[in-house]
Chain A
Amino acid sequence: MTARYWWGEIDEDGTCRPAPTDEAEALARLGSLESPMDGTVPGTWEAAVACGVVPDRAAYLARLHDLAMRLAADRVAEALRGPDLELLRMVRTLDELDGVINLLTERAVEWYATQDPGFSRKFRAVPARRLVQVLLPRARGPLRSVLLQIEALGAARTDLAREVTRAAFRVMPNSSGLVGGLVAARLMAAAGSLDALARLPASGLQVLGARSALFSHIRTGTPPPKHGLIFQHRRVHNAPPAVRGRVARVLASRLAIAARIDRYRGTPDPAFIEAANARIDGVLA
């Protein structure tokens, strides 16, 4: 059998052929090279010199270094290129922003309460994100700057959420068509990648994001979770409690198909989306 090394090949009878000197060709050859891990492994630098590929060990190492650097850089670029990776980073940033905004708002309200002893949130139907605007005209000094920062973060969050939705409809059009871009992107982020999402069974998709409930069910026999992240989709959380579990299950089963179309075809399938949506709405009817 022919032994193949990065610098060339040696046939069984001892004749050797140097690898192509053109870098692109050499890299393409290396990318597909796989050794059977038999007696021909590993090669030696002396063999490369004997074959006339390089004059000495220093040159052997220098060329190997250059080639390995290029090969590794190409593989890194390839691994980081997937469009779902940027979406993943965007979703994680979005969730982080939510946490930061909530924490800071909480702090700012407590702080403001010391400046205005009569202040209480009770009996005011003010959502947390509007609270900042309520406090802003009354706050002074550094508290005011903090509130302004929270407001700016809120604006950034709105922008990002819109962009996540847009990107999700591009990267995973069918899943987004079923549950909207934001929830689809969150599901993908929870799975780790579009690839991982497409490999999940529907039952896994249904409880993705309900890890602690799921494990407490497995360990101690509490009731199993009916839904994880997909609860955020309106058809699940607006469903009457009696059918919520059924809606979640049917939705998850269609999502599992949608994720596979997204991963392996990548184009929207309007007929599928329509049929799947009709099936889900059928549970609610």
Chain B
Amino acid sequence: MIWRDGTLLSPGEGSVYGERTRGGLRVWDPRRSKFAALAHLDPGFDLPPGTRVLYLGAANGTTVSHVADYAEVVYAVEFAPRPMQDLLAVARRRKNIIPILADAGRPGRYAPLLEPVDLLFQDVAQPNQAAIAVRNRPFLVPGGRLALMLKVRSIDQRRPQDEVGQEAVGVLEEGGYAVDSVRSLSPYHRDHLAIQGRRVD
């Protein structure tokens, strides 16, 4: 990934959502994007060229547009029609985004469109986030990476963050993932845990 003076940049046609550019590159703000926040907090996190990404919870395509600047192809799954309208506008200009209007909890519905991916990035506001990651595990190549942005408050309003996180880790390990790290996304995002793991067979 491209860094300049501590700022994460992405090479691509700007400006998609009014983001600043620096030297012709688009500034990728960790406060707006959990993907960028994770890259800021974990020096080992990388998105090498040629990566194939399955992105669950694509929303308006803000982060997706940056991911698509690096990745070879991004399968962007979003359930809500309104944000999908914006995502379609982004995908019209970026041919390596495959927009999919579907429920990430029912992967069978969009499975015919997919191919094996190297990275599963998930950012969905559902109480069963870990189970959704498990259901989408078949799309990962063996050893493929999972980056789950756990929205703690979508799971439980009151229980402590670590407790909810441990429970999610349990579900993931039960479901065929090896969890490598769990870190909080503060100070960039509140009540979010980034869980990184790998598919194990």
Contacts and interface: CB of A to CB of B under 8 A. Distances in A.
B114 A42 contact: yes
B112 A4 contact: yes
B92 A76 contact: no
A218 interface: no
B91 A69 contact: yes
Q: Interface majority SS on B: helix, strand, loop or mixed?
A: helix
Contact of A44 (B98, B99, B116): B116
A41 B98 contact: no
Contacts of A196: none
A30 to B, nearest CB: 7
B88 A76 contact: yes
Interface in A73-91: 73, 75-76, 79-80
Interface residues of A, number: 27
A72 interface: yes
Contacts of A45: 115
A69 B96 CA distance: 11
A61 B99 CA distance: 12
Nearest to A67: B113
B111 interface: yes
A204 interface: no
B116 A72 contact: no
Contacts of B87: 72
Nearest to B114: A42
A24 interface: no
Contact of A80 (B73, B81, B97, B112): B81
A190 to B, nearest CB: 19
A65 B90 CA distance: 12
Given A37-B138, A42-B138, A76-B81, A68 B100 contact: yes
Contacts of B88: 69, 72-73, 76
B108 interface: yes
**Which has the most chain B C-beta neighbours within 10 Å: A41, A42, A44, A73?**
A42
B139 interface: yes
A243 interface: no
Nearest to B84: A76
A41 B141 CA distance: 11
Contacts of A69: 88, 91-92, 99
A60 B92 CA distance: 17
Contacts of B98: 61, 64-65, 68
A35 interface: yes
B87 to A, nearest CB: 8
A12 interface: no
A69 B97 CA distance: 9
A80 B135 CA distance: 28
B113 A64 contact: yes
Interface of A: 4-6, 30, 33-37, 41-45, 61-62, 64-65, 68-69, 71-73, 75-76, 79-80
Nearest 10 interchain pairs by C-beta: A35-B111, A79-B81, A42-B114, A75-B101, A72-B99, A72-B101, A68-B98, A35-B108, A76-B81, A33-B112
18 contacts: A33-B112, A35-B107, A35-B112, A42-B111, A42-B138, A43-B115, A44-B115, A61-B96, A64-B98, A69-B88, A71-B100, A72-B88, A72-B99, A76-B84, A76-B85, A76-B88, A76-B101, A79-B81
